[in-house]
Amino acid sequence: MKRLLLLPLVLFFLACSNQDSQRQKKIVIGFSQCTTGDDWRMTMHEEMLREMSLYRDYDISLIIKDAQDDNERQIQDIKELVAAGIDLLIVSPNEADPLTPIVEQVYEQGIPVIVIDRKINSEKFTAYVGANNLLTGKEAGRLAAELLNGKGKILEITGLTGSTPAIERSKGFRDILSQYPDITIEQVLEGAWLIEEAQRITDSVFAHPTDIDLVFAHNDPMAYGVYRSASKHGLSPYIIGVDGLNTPRGGLNNILNGYVSGTVLYPTGGDKAIQIAINILSEKPYDRFNYLKTAKIDPTHARTLKLQSDQIQEQQAKIDLQREYMGEMDYLINKQKNFLFLLVLIVLLLILLVGLIIYFLNKKNHINKILDAKNKTIEQQNKKITQQRDEVVRVLKIAEEATEMKLRFFTNISHEFRTSLSLISLPINDLVASEEKVIEKDKLLSIQKNTNRLIRLAEEILDFRKIDTHKYQLNTIHADMVKFMTEVVTAFQPKADRKRIHLHLHVPGSLVADFDPTIMEKVMFNLLSNAIKYTQQEGEIMVNVVLSNSRVTISVEDNGIGIPEHQIPYIFDIFHRAHANLHQQEEEGMGIGLSLTKELVHIHHGMLKVKSQVGQGTTFYFSIPQIQPKAMKAATHGEAGELSESDAQIKADKSKTVLIVEDNEELLEILASTIGQYFEVRTASNGKKALEIIALKQPHLVISDICMPAMDGIELCAEIKKNPLTFQIPVILLTAIDAQQSKINSFNIGADEYLTKPFNKHVLISRAKNLMESREKLKLSLGKYQFLSDSLKDIEQADQEFVQQCISIIHQHISDESFHLDHLADAMSMSRSSLYRKIKKLTDMRGVDFIKKVRLQYAAKLLLNEDIGVNEVAWLCGFSDVKYFSKCFAREFEHNPSKFKNAILSAKDIQDFVS
Ligand code: ADP
């Protein structure tokens, strides 16, 4: 673009510079002429103009002033020319003496002066141009001597008496004729350069008889006057003149017409004067005195001269014409130049315009591209946002469905439990109210049946939960499947018998396979229960066990009511019941069994399928690998082995105190006796009591149930973890239902372990031991930086509470940088000095150091337990200057805050502790 803009500018300047070079130098020349009354002077002007036309580099103006033979007038003319601002003066003085002062004056002003033809009486002029009148006179003398052949009488008609040409011409004429004694100048008369005057004075001579042989007139016009006088008087003397011009009255014509016998060439010097003027003004070299050549002309070469002169004049005419044409051409060229200049200017402007248009178009394109890109980005972002929104909607929907399902689940389960519980409570009430001592067995059986049902339901629900959280593990045994199946089917015989259903088992002789007896029992229990439930009295049920392609296929076939075809796709969905309207009070189900069975078969690397026809019967079948993949077996066996090994390793350590919190007395007792075998045990029936015990004697570990009156396990754990004196005590929460676990997780209260009831005693003991050991290691790794909780152990209970209260108040203002000892004293309702003294006594720290220590220990806790940056930790703990915080922290804990966590948590077990 820049180059494009530069091009027109360069062209423009070129055009301008070209225009400049065409300019001519302006020159003004003033010419003061003594007279213009004769041909000779007119010829002089013509020659000047002709010469001027040859200098094309100059724009020459020639101002001619005619003094008309008047000295005063000529002086005035010169003054006017100077006033007009001429660059150079050419002067042909009328008379020498009167004109000399003004010419000197002009010269002294610094204006160059060329004196032409006539002279002045001073050297103060720049150059002189003129013919030599003395030589002219001599030429005339020689011509006269020739014509007179050395003998005769002469009449001399002079120019203006006193004028230098007249004087010098006379002198030269006499110089030559003095050489001829027989030639005499009889008479000298003044003709004043004029025809009429010459004729008049000649008439006065010729009117009387005369023996004049030759008349010498100082110029050709006067010679013609002489001729007219002679012819008037019938005389024919030799007549000679001076000038030799080719004009009608000029010397050449006089000769050719026979009026005179000869003439002397006297050049005007007009052309020479212009040449010298240009040289002077352009500071080129020139001669100061420029004398023009002269020569005599007689009839023998007058014709030739005339012809030459005519030719010159013709040429001159042509030159003039050419000049005229050239002038016109110049005009045209100038016009064209101007036009071209204008054209170039327009083209330049057009180029500039086009350049600007291209530039702005490019810019527009560029901006459009940027806008397009931005639009694209916005579109993509919109798309992303829309996708995210859709995703959120989808997740919300799933969440809604999940919530709905949970609600349904709890409604159904509550219903189930209520039914079973009322079936249990009714006979119990009856039994309690009965005065009979004999126990009514059928009532007890009903109680037993419903209790079993409840237990089974609870088990099924917990199984579901385990499957959902991928915690259900396959524990296979390598055993005879036929034996196992026989036992299971036999167990169902009484139930089948009650409906007079024929229960058959088709099995091979023996079939050793890998199977999880618990899973297989649950699967078969469900399938056989359903088969009996949905088969009418006296129906038939067939259990088949077949081995083919290293897979064991088991099917349970009945000839019961069957499942409507449109229901089949849904029967494995949880809570789905294909025969919900069927009135089978006793056999009412929840729609859980098949869904769970399908999952259990899946865990066993099989797939549960169904074939059914309404009124014909139903067959459920599945196949499992005869030999389970090794990895699975190894994993399950390995884990079990590990557990038993570690069981053996657990050693009693009575220096450790474990606080057990459980509201159920029975369970509390069992837990206390189990854990008491290994550790010192304290017990509490709820969270509140537990906190009191913790305040009195810090235990090494807390094991707490979640659901408790007064204060539940979650609140208790939160209290322990937010108190800097106790936050390091590990907490194990015991939960009966897994749903609680997600609640705990979301609360993120900082519990160290969760165990689901019923828990394995060994797992509980080993986890408790690990946690306490990790805590010990952490303490060791923290080395010398003692936590306040440790330093307070040996002081009185009341003092401990006092310090704890101080810490708690500081915690409430932990992020307030301006919180100082004064504020703490106010909050504790104490004077500043007594608070200071008490803190000093109990902790051996100054008040300000105590507050700082609490802040830093809180920071340490945040750094260890939370995933937040050092800056944020500093601000949260009331340090506005992060550098100062890092310095204090490093002094307290020997590590920079940024490296603290890594330094402390280098050991894996400590990580366990913190996480
Ligand atoms: P339920 O507790 O209701 O038996 P299940 O999940 O075990 O729940 O079974 C789901 C549904 O599938 C049952 O409600 C019943 O409608 C149908 N079903 C299961 N087994 C059979 C069967 N052998 N014959 C007919 N229908 C059956």
Report whether pLDDT(441) > 80. Answer: no
Q: Which atom of ligand 1 is nearest to the CA of 594?
A: 6
Query: Does the C-beta of 541 come closer than 6 Å to ligand 1?
Result: no
Partners of 548 in beta bridges: 551
pLDDT > 80? residue 868: no
The residue that leads in pLDDT, 809 or 441, is 809
Ligand 1 pocket test, pick from 499, 526, 530, 592 with the greatest ligand atom count within 8 Å of Cβ, gives 530
d(CA 409, CA 401): 12
For the beta carbon of residue 591, count every other beta carbon within 10 angstroms.
17
CA 625 to centroid of ligand 1, rounded, Å: 26
For residue 528, the CA-to-ligand 1 centroid distance in Å is 11
What are 321-347's pLDDT values in tens digits?
Answer: 887 888 788 788 888 888 999 999 999
CA distance 524 to 543: 10
Segment 570-579 long-range contacts (CB within 8 Å, at least 24 positions apart): 571/610, 572/598, 572/608, 574/405, 574/409, 574/464, 575/408, 575/409, 575/412, 579/534
Cβ of 443 below 6 Å from ligand 1: no
Check if 560 has its Cβ closer than 6 Å to any atom of ligand 1. Answer: yes
User: Does ligand 1 have an atom closer than 6 angstroms to the CB of 591?
Assistant: yes
Q: Do the Cβ atoms of 529 and 543 come closer than 8 Å?
A: no
Decide: 187 and 206 in contact? Cβ < 8 Å. no
pTM of the model: 0.39
**C-alpha to C-alpha distance for 325 and 61, rounded to whole angstroms:** 19
Q: Would the CB of 563 count as within 6 Å of ligand 1? A: yes
Round the average pLDDT of the chain to a whole number and report it.
83
> What is the predicted pLDDT for the residue at 585?
44
Q: Whose CA is nearest to atom 23 of ligand 1?
A: 531
Ligand 1 centroid distance, CA of 602 (Å): 19
Distance from C-alpha of 803 to C-alpha of 798, rounded to nearest angstrom = 9
Range in 439-443, 700-704, 840-844, 887-891 the model is least confident about: 439-443
Strand 502-506, strand 289-292: pairing: unpaired
Query: How many angstroms separate the Cα of 234 from the Cα of each of 24, 190, 207, 258, 386?
Result: 60, 23, 10, 15, 138
C-beta contacts of 9-16 below 8 A and 24+ residues apart: 9/348, 11/344, 11/347, 11/348, 12/344, 12/345, 12/348, 15/340, 15/341, 15/344, 15/345, 16/341
Pocket flag, ligand 1, residue 456 (CB < 6 Å): no
Instruction: Assess whether the C-beta atom of 464 lies below 6 angstroms from ligand 1.
Output: no
422-433 CB burial, b ≥16 within 10 A, e <16 = ebbeebeeeeee
What is the mean pLDDT of the segment spanning 206-221?
93
Is the CB of 608 inside a 6 Å radius of any atom of ligand 1? no
Our measurement of the distance from residue 78's CA atom to the centroid of its chain's CA atoms, rounded to an integer in Å, reads 80
Say yes or no to pLDDT of 149 above 80.
Answer: yes
Report the percent of the chain where pLDDT is more than 70: 84
| Burial bucket for residue 207 (CB in 10 Å: 0-12, 13-18, 19+) | exposed
Atom of ligand 1 nearest to the CA of 561: 25
Q: Is the CB of 621 under 6 A from ligand 1?
A: no
End-to-end CA distance of the chain: 66
The reported pLDDT for the residue numbered 445 is 76
Strands 701-705 and 657-661 turn out to be parallel
- Ligand 1 pocket, residue 534 CB under 6 Å: yes
Mean pLDDT of 285-308: 89
How far, CA to CA in Å, does 253 sit from each of 262, 300, 316, 452? 10, 13, 19, 170
In three-state secondary structure terms, 731 is strand
CA 563 to ligand 1 center in whole angstroms:
8
491 has pLDDT over 50: yes
Backbone angles phi, psi at 82, to 5 degrees: -60, -45
Tokens representing residue 171 in the block: 């002198």
C-beta 571 within 6 A of ligand 1: yes
Ligand 1 centroid–CA 190 distance in Å is 171
531 lines ligand 1 (CB under 6 A): yes
Atom 11 of ligand 1: nearest residue by CA position: 577
User: Does residue 532 have its Cβ closer than 6 Å to ligand 1?
Assistant: no
pLDDT band of 431, cuts 50, 70, 90: confident
527 lines ligand 1 (CB under 6 A): no
Give the residue, by CA position, lying nearest to ligand 1 atom 16: 578
Per DSSP, the three-state class of 521 is: helix
**Tally of CB atoms within 10 A around 441:** 9
Least confident of 539-553, 637-651, 839-853: 637-651
What is the token pair recorded at 915? 């996480």
Ligand 1 lined by 559 (C-beta under 6 Å) = no
Predicted pLDDT of residue 780: 58
pLDDT band at 697 (very low <50, low <70, confident <90, very high): confident
* 876 confidence band (pLDDT: 50, 70, 90): confident
Beta bridge partners of 540: 502
Q: State the angle between helix axes of 2-21 and 299-433 in degrees (0 to 180), rounded to the nearest 10.
A: 160
Asked if residue 599 has its Cβ within 6 Å of ligand 1, the reply is: no
CA 755 to chain centroid, in Å, comes to 57
Reduce the DSSP state of residue 870 to 3 states and report it: helix
Contact of 513 with 626, CB cutoff 8 Å: yes
User: Which residue in this structure is represented by tokens 């150091």?
Assistant: 849
* pLDDT score of 466: 75
- With tokens 């509490």, the residue in question is 684
Most confident of 39-53, 74-88, 690-704: 74-88
Residue linked to tokens 């002189």: 128
Hey, whose CA ends up nearest to atom 14 of ligand 1?
A: 577
What contacts 611, CB < 8 A, 6 or more positions away?
618, 619, 621
pLDDT of residue 795: 67
Residue 269, judged by CB atoms within 10 A of its CB (0-12, 13-18, 19+), counts as buried
Q: Is the CB of 659 under 6 A from ligand 1?
A: no
**In angstroms, what is the span from residue 541 Cα to ligand 1's centroid?**
15
The H-assigned helical ranges of 434-516 are 441-468, 481-498
Average pLDDT over residues 237-251: 89
| Cα three-residue angle 858-861-866, rounded to 5 degrees | 120
Give 903-906 contacts, CB < 8 A, sequence gap 24+. 904/778, 904/781, 904/782, 904/864, 905/864, 906/781
Residue 577, ligand 1, Cβ within 6 A: yes
CA 534 to ligand 1 center in whole angstroms: 7
* Residue to mutate, 461, 577, 595, ligand 1, most ligand atoms under 8 Å from C-beta: 577
Contact 654, 682 (CB under 8 A): no
Angle CA 634–637–639, to nearest 5:
100
561 Cβ below 6 A of ligand 1: yes
Pick the range with the lowest mean pLDDT from 227-241, 431-445, 577-591, 746-760: 577-591
Ligand 1 atom with least separation from CA of 591:
8
Measured in angstroms, how far is the CA atom of residue 577 from the centroid of ligand 1? 6
Pairing outcome for strands 551-558 and 540-548: antiparallel
* Ligand 1 atom 15 nearest Cα: 578
Among 180-189, 277-286, 586-595, 677-686, whose mean pLDDT is lowest?
A: 586-595
- The reply to whether ligand 1 has any atom less than 6 angstroms from the CB of 453 is no
Task: Note the pLDDT of residue 105.
Answer: 95
Index of the ligand 1 atom closest to the CA of residue 617: 24
Q: What pLDDT does 381 receive?
A: 83
Residue indicated by tokens 């865990």:
603
- Would you say the CB of residue 676 lies under 6 angstroms from ligand 1? no
Pocket test for ligand 1, best of 460, 563, 587 (most atoms within 8 A of CB): 563
User: What are the structure tokens assigned to 632, written together?
Assistant: 């699975």
Amino acid identity at 161: T
108 Cβ contact partners less than 8 Å away, ≥ 6 residues apart: 124
Asked if 803 and 835 touch (Cβ cutoff 8 Å), the reply is: no
Q: How far is the CA of 570 from the centre of ligand 1 (A)?
A: 10
123, pLDDT greater than 70: yes
Protein residue with least CA distance to atom 19, ligand 1: 530
**Locus of tokens 């044409």:** 325
pLDDT band at 246 (very low <50, low <70, confident <90, very high): confident
Ligand 1 atom at minimal distance to the Cα of residue 578: 16
101 pLDDT above the threshold of 90 = yes
DSSP 682-728: EEESSHHHHHHHHHHS--SEEEEESS-SSS-HHHHHHHHHH-TTTTT
Q: Which amino acid is at 911?
A: Q
Q: Is the pLDDT of residue 512 over 80?
A: yes
Q: pLDDT tens-digit profile of 635-653?
A: 333 333 333 334 445 677 8
Are the beta carbons of 67 and 34 closer than 8 angstroms?
yes
The arithmetic mean of pLDDT across residues 486-501, rounded, is: 90
**Token duo for residue 789:** 């909780």
Q: What confidence tier does 456 reach under pLDDT thresholds 50, 70, 90?
A: confident
Q: Which atom of ligand 1 is nearest the CA belonging to 592?
A: 6
User: Among 476-490, 525-539, 626-640, where is mean pLDDT lowest?
Assistant: 626-640
Query: How high is the pLDDT of residue 328?
Result: 85
Q: Whose CA is nearest to atom 20 of ligand 1?
A: 530
Return all residues near 357 (Cβ < 8 A) that are at least 6 apart. none
**Separation CA 587–CA 305 (nearest Å):** 163
What's the 591 CA to ligand 1 centre distance in angstroms?
7
Per the CB < 8 A criterion, the answer to whether 517 and 525 are in contact is no
Measured distance CA(789)–CA(494) in Å, rounded: 65
Of 123 and 392, the one with more pLDDT: 123
Pairing of strands 58-66, 25-33: parallel
What single-letter DSSP state applies at residue 567?
A: G
Q: How far is the CA of 480 from the centre of ligand 1 (A)?
A: 29
Q: Identify which of 524, 583, 594, 619 to mutate to test ligand 1's pocket (most ligand atoms within 8 A of the CB).
A: 594
Any atom of ligand 1 within 6 Å of the Cβ of 237 = no
Looking at residue 463, its pLDDT comes to 79
Contact predicate 28/63, CB 8 Å? yes
> What is the pLDDT averaged over residues 837-862?
86
Q: How far apart are CA 115 and CA 31, in angstroms?
A: 10
pLDDT per position as a tens digit, 355-369: 999 999 999 998 898
Positive or negative: CA dihedral 697, 700, 706, 712: positive
596 lines ligand 1 (CB under 6 A): no
